[in-house]
Structure 1
Amino acid sequence: MNTYDVIIIGGGLAGLTSAIDLSKDGLQVLLLEKETYPKHKVCGEYVSNEISPYLNRLGVNFETTPPDEIHSLQLSDRKGQLVEIKLPLGGFGISRYAFDHLLFKKAKANGVDFVFETVTDVEFIDDRFTIKTAQQTFMSILAIGSFGKRSNLDKKMDRSFITQKTPWIGIKAHYTSSDFPEGSVQLHNFEGGYCGLSKTETGAVNFCYLAHYDTFKKANSIEDFNHKILSQNPHLKSFLETSKMDFEKHLAISQVSFQNKKAVEHHMLMAGDSAGLIHPLCGNGMAMAIHSAKLVSNEIKSFFKHKNRDKLEANYSRIWKKTFQKRLIFGSIFQKILLQPQLTRYGMWIVLKSPFLLRKMIQQTHGKPIQ
């Protein structure tokens, strides 16, 4: 039976980054992921610079896939009224296709083992984890759950949020656009949702939106929804009319969940979206996932010095809540505002008069640089 210090279930940003961090410290790490790299995912693909010093410390190098440097945010309401601000920290645009693959190669170079199979069962017995796929069984002292927004493992673990249905649908595609502004991330409101636009490392524009099912069911297809609903916002209408989709079809996910989650479940340490999902309109989910990898890695490295599991779990739950709870609350508030036309119009009127207020709002969903 294969035995490790840490087994990570899920190879997204949080899982890959924690694998790099822990292996850098000499721990034996296995990452279990159901799909091979590279691959596209439904994601906003904008990353706040708050995590740049941390990635530099881990030796993650973007020289072969230089991202698009982003300095400003454009925000519009449903009618197209627009406000633009300079982002407090700035960020960069990079596709999950490139970013995850880059992190995967770095983790492999660090000595992390990868198995591309679906996890079917997790047990915690006699102070050890036994983790099974259809083909193999593995054991570890610690386990990290980074299996995304919603997973069959959440059901197996009987996590409280999994029984609550959610009405959110995520749609994504890459587009070629000849006139998309350099250094800009855009957020455009439409009936029942909002759409983010930003350039990736290839120059393609990532077009990703979150829509409420009640609005989405008014259309017969994604293309019909884009034409009928999104195009009511003149900025989205112009983008769709002047750009060409690079994908054969849009990517889609349903049941996007924003319910509260626990940072520790059945002794497994949760990271990334498995621990909590910030509303995509805040444009900071990717940085938050990477930041959570740093938190869980720090606590795990400390654990292997004191070997106190209760202390590990209590400390991680506390530090996760201290670091992210305020962001999640503000993200929820911003989402509610954008989904109420009258509140959005009033909010746009305020930030047009005083753009610094929007900068303050952005700061509430972004952290300070971490190393």
Structure 2
Amino acid sequence: MNSHKHIVIIGGGLAGLTSAIHLAKYQIPVLIIEKDQYPKHKVCGEYISNEIMPYFDFLGIKLDDLGVVKISELNISTTKGKIIKSKLPLGGFGISRYTLDNYLWNLAKSLGVQTLNDQVLDVGYKKNRFSVKTANNALITSDYVIGAYGKRSILDKKLERDFSKNKSPWLAVKAHYKSSFNPNTVALHNFDGGYCGLSMVENNTVNACYLVNYDSFKRCKDIDHFEENVLKKNPYLKDFFENSQRIFEKPITISQINFDRKQPVENHVFMLGDAAGLIHPLCGNGMAMAIQSAKILCELLINNYESNIYTLEKIEELYSKEWKTMFSKRLYAGRILQKMLLNETIQQIGQKVATLVPVIVPKIIKQTHGKPLIC
């Protein structure tokens, strides 16, 4: 397959699919390349802030028929089981990536987006044109390339991104469960070396996803032993795992999760979602940020498609500036918050302060979230 496309999107996750749908709404030709087949489970917290709802409405993305679960409350527990409860300022909803990504993939195709199931191995840029090479020997040229391939990819090393040279100690584990769980609540429970998020998605199913430092994990020989000997030391996690039935045959995992700073543009490739910057999962805002980054870039590409007044370099400059304005403070707040929550002493102090001054928790949450998107 040798061809030329106006825009190639690498990755069919939330950022890539939302971009494809937005661009297709304006009849802009798009090819999206995704290595996996849908539907497919992904390691993810599966909670989305309501700040993206005006944008989804604008794009014609209808979630009512997907069984989303409305969430309005947050519970946080320390490793010792001390609890903090708070209202979520904007609220959000729970939906599995298995359902949401598949819906967006099919919606994009119905709008005329071209799709290709293949893995991109390399992206080059020369004389104002991109060349995209895939595992199945396709060579595609394009005017623009969008990198929406998630937390990590072989492309990161090909593009010589700085963070790809560093090893990361973080491992994430996810599974779905049947359990008696408050559907209005997203819970975040700390344990030695990490934290576990619990929230309900469609079909009365609870998503349990935890992030753990590998040094903590490797002391146990496998996931079952780790959950038994580490997670269950938190009484809330002990209660959940002992009174729940796992639906997955076995949990799914992803390693080498890197929270180092990234650049929103690399070698002229526009990066979206986790490929541009990964917020710590405890903030519960990664999915919303991925969707928001799509909006920022698509508006620039649509305006230029209609007027053709900007060079690629100018669009890169504008996108980088808007991306940093939107997300830099959130990412910084996420890094600070994670350091605090992984320190047991600070956990205990924070729980006492939050109990005495409950208004402080919503204010902290706002530091990692944005306002509803204006469309």
| TM-score by shorter chain over 0.5 | yes
Q: CA deviation at 1:310?
A: 1.6
Taking the aligned partners of 2:228 and 2:301, their CA distance within structure 1 comes to: 49
Any idea what SS the aligned residue of 1:255 has?
strand
Taking the aligned partners of 2:77 and 2:49, their CA distance within structure 1 comes to: 20
Instruction: Specify the alignment match of 1:174 in structure 2.
Output: 176
Instruction: Specify the alignment match of 1:204 in structure 2.
Output: 205
Taking the aligned partners of 2:120 and 2:202, their CA distance within structure 1 comes to: 32
Contact residue 186 and residue 197 of structure 1 kept, 8 A: yes
Any idea what SS the aligned residue of 2:55 has?
helix
1:109-168 superposed Cα distances (whole Å, 9 cap, x missing partner)? 110000000112211111011111123111111110011111100011110110011100
Instruction: Specify the alignment match of 1:147 in structure 2.
Output: 149
Instruction: Specify the alignment match of 1:340 in structure 2.
Output: 343
1:67-124 superposed Cα distances (whole Å, 9 cap, x missing partner)? 0000100010001111111100000000000010111111111100000001122111
Instruction: Specify the alignment match of 2:356 in structure 1.
Output: 353
Contact residue 171 and residue 251 of structure 1 kept, 8 A: yes
Any idea what SS the aligned residue of 1:106 has?
helix
Contact residue 95 and residue 201 of structure 1 kept, 8 A: yes
Taking the aligned partners of 1:174 and 1:103, their CA distance within structure 2 comes to: 21
TM, length-normalised to structure 1? 0.98
1:12-32 superposed Cα distances (whole Å, 9 cap, x missing partner)? 100000000011111000000
In structure 1, runs of 5+ residues without a counterpart are: none
Instruction: Specify the alignment match of 1:240 in structure 2.
Output: 241
Q: 1:246-265 to 2 correspondence within 5 Å?
A: 246-265=247-266
Instruction: Specify the alignment match of 1:113 in structure 2.
Output: 114
Could you tell me which amino acid in structure 2 is paired with residue 342 of structure 1?
Answer: T
Q: CA deviation at 1:215?
A: 0.6
Taking every aligned residue pair, what percent have the same amino acid on both sides? 49
Taking the aligned partners of 2:84 and 2:350, their CA distance within structure 1 comes to: 11
Taking the aligned partners of 2:215 and 2:121, their CA distance within structure 1 comes to: 34
Q: CA deviation at 1:301?
A: 1.4
Taking the aligned partners of 2:198 and 2:67, their CA distance within structure 1 comes to: 18
The answer to whether residue 142 in structure 2 is matched with residue 136 in structure 1 is no
1:211-251 superposed Cα distances (whole Å, 9 cap, x missing partner)? 00111011111010001000000000000000000000000
The answer to whether residue 338 in structure 2 is matched with residue 312 in structure 1 is no
Contact residue 183 and residue 199 of structure 2 kept, 8 A: no
Taking the aligned partners of 1:341 and 1:307, their CA distance within structure 2 comes to: 51
Could you tell me which amino acid in structure 2 is paired with residue 65 of structure 1?
Answer: L
Contact residue 303 and residue 309 of structure 1 kept, 8 A: no
Could you tell me which amino acid in structure 2 is paired with residue 20 of structure 1?
Answer: I
The answer to whether residue 26 in structure 2 is matched with residue 20 in structure 1 is no
Could you tell me which amino acid in structure 1 is paired with residue 138 of structure 2?
Answer: Q
Could you tell me which amino acid in structure 2 is paired with residue 150 of structure 1?
Answer: R
Taking the aligned partners of 1:354 and 1:110, their CA distance within structure 2 comes to: 50
1:240-285 superposed Cα distances (whole Å, 9 cap, x missing partner)? 0000000000000000000000000000000000000000000010
Could you tell me which amino acid in structure 1 is paired with residue 43 of structure 2?
Answer: V
Taking the aligned partners of 2:290 and 2:103, their CA distance within structure 1 comes to: 16
TM, length-normalised to structure 2? 0.97
Instruction: Specify the alignment match of 1:37 in structure 2.
Output: 38
Any idea what SS the aligned residue of 1:64 has?
helix
Could you tell me which amino acid in structure 1 is paired with residue 63 of structure 2?
Answer: F
Contact residue 145 and residue 268 of structure 1 kept, 8 A: yes
Could you tell me which amino acid in structure 2 is paired with residue 191 of structure 1?
Answer: D
Any idea what SS the aligned residue of 1:254 has?
strand
Could you tell me which amino acid in structure 2 is paired with residue 132 of structure 1?
Answer: K
Could you tell me which amino acid in structure 2 is paired with residue 268 of structure 1?
Answer: V
Taking the aligned partners of 1:251 and 1:121, their CA distance within structure 2 comes to: 27
Could you tell me which amino acid in structure 2 is paired with residue 146 of structure 1?
Answer: A
What is the RMSD computed on CA atoms of the aligned residues? Answer: 0.8
Taking the aligned partners of 1:300 and 1:262, their CA distance within structure 2 comes to: 19
Instruction: Specify the alignment match of 1:60 in structure 2.
Output: 61
In structure 2, runs of 5+ residues without a counterpart are: none
Taking the aligned partners of 1:121 and 1:308, their CA distance within structure 2 comes to: 23
Could you tell me which amino acid in structure 2 is paired with residue 94 of structure 1?
Answer: I
1:317-338 superposed Cα distances (whole Å, 9 cap, x missing partner)? 1000000000000000110011
Taking the aligned partners of 2:64 and 2:199, their CA distance within structure 1 comes to: 20
Q: CA deviation at 1:309?
A: 1.2
Any idea what SS the aligned residue of 1:323 has?
helix
Q: CA deviation at 1:64?
A: 2.4
